[in-house]
Amino acid sequence: MSVAMKQTVSGRASHSALAAFFCVAAVVAAGPASAGGEPLPSGTSFLTQSLQAQQSDEATNPGMLWISEGALIWQTPDGASGASCATCHGDAGTSMKGVAASYPKVYGKTGELLNLEKRINLCRTSQQNAEPYAYESDPLLALTAFIARQSLGQPINVQIDDASRAFYERGKAMFYRRQGQLNLSCAQCHEALAGKQLRGDTISYGVGNGYPAYRLEWQTLGSLHRRLRSCSYGVRARRFEFGSPEYLSLELFLAVRAQGVPVETPAIRR
């Protein structure tokens, strides 16, 4: 699945990350500093107007290809059960509306923290009797994006409860811990420096409401965990595996912090 896209190649990651990092210059007035009252601004508000327009136009948003693919997979029987997602869940526009906005979530039967990708794979293995999809594979991205699309415009609504509190605390600690050779925490960029320029990007508040997102640098759709791996790499810290407990906890913290921000999947990002 590839799309010919015009993109600017200026501002590629430089090797002197530290030097670039300290050359930050204010361009956009920073918005609210925390999720106390107002929801955080979406990453979309830091894009150029033309990218914002492309994102909101279904005819030109390249991520819509994955939404169509996801709609197709939804209807297609698979696995030993011979069932499709639709066999059990019917019309996704009804059954999946608002679902993505409530993830990640602790699965009651096992106490495991599931993001949407893991929840889909749980249905693959336990309901369809099919093989789980590989993380970051096209079918999993397509189904995840398709389900998230059914929550378009719905506010993220993820609660902390007794079952999820320990995961949340782990994610929160990771967000505020200094990491990597650059010794920077997520918060130093996504709270203190939001609105500032870094290597051609405007740093946002680090909200996951647009994922899976089409990133121009990737030339494809990618998951939130792929984006987190880029950030870990950016500060020369350890990159955890896709679907790792570390990124799942971080994803939960980010979602709680992004309470009220509307879902925008598939977002376009530089």
Minimum separation from the CB atom of position 89 to ligand HEC (A): 6
Given 85, 186, 189, 231, which residue is catalytic? 231
C-beta closer to ligand HEC: residue 164 or 232? 232
Q: What angle (nearest 5°) sits at the alpha carbon of residue 93, between those of residues 125 and 205?
A: 85
**Cα dihedral 160→165→168→172 (10° resolution):** 110
Which residue has the closest beta carbon to ligand HEC?
43
3 state DSSP class of 65: helix
C-beta closer to ligand HEC: residue 65 or 231? 231
Which DSSP string corresponds to 90-158? --HHHHTTTTGGG-SEEETTTTEEE-HHHHHHHHHHHTS--PPPPTT-HHHHHHHHHHHHTTBTPBP--
C-beta closer to ligand HEC: residue 65 or 203? 203
C-beta closer to ligand HEC: residue 66 or 175? 175
Q: What angle (nearest 5°) sits at the alpha carbon of residue 265, between those of residues 53 and 258?
A: 105
C-beta closer to ligand HEC: residue 51 or 213? 213
Q: How many residues does the chain have?
A: 270
3 state DSSP class of 159: coil
Residues near ligand HEC (CB under 6 A) are 21, 43, 81, 83, 85, 87-89, 99, 119-120, 123-124, 127-128, 143, 147, 175, 184, 186, 188-190, 198, 201, 203-204, 206-208, 210, 213, 227-228, 231-232, 234-235, 250, 254, 269
Which DSSP string corresponds to 71-90? HHHHHS-BTTTTB-HHHHH-
Q: What angle (nearest 5°) sits at the alpha carbon of residue 52, between those of residues 243 and 9?
A: 75
Minimum separation from the CB atom of position 26 to ligand HEC (A): 15
Minimum separation from the CB atom of position 57 to ligand HEC (A): 18
C-beta closer to ligand HEC: residue 6 or 109? 109
The secondary structure of residue 6, as a DSSP letter, is -
Minimum separation from the CB atom of position 141 to ligand HEC (A): 12
Q: Using a CB cutoff of 8 Å and minimum separation of 24, what contacts does 4-7 make? A: 5/62, 5/216, 5/219, 7/216, 7/217, 7/219
45 contacts: CB under 8 Å, gap ≥ 6: 31, 52, 204
Which amino acid appears at position 57 of this protein?
D
231 is catalytic: yes
Which residues belong to the active site?
231
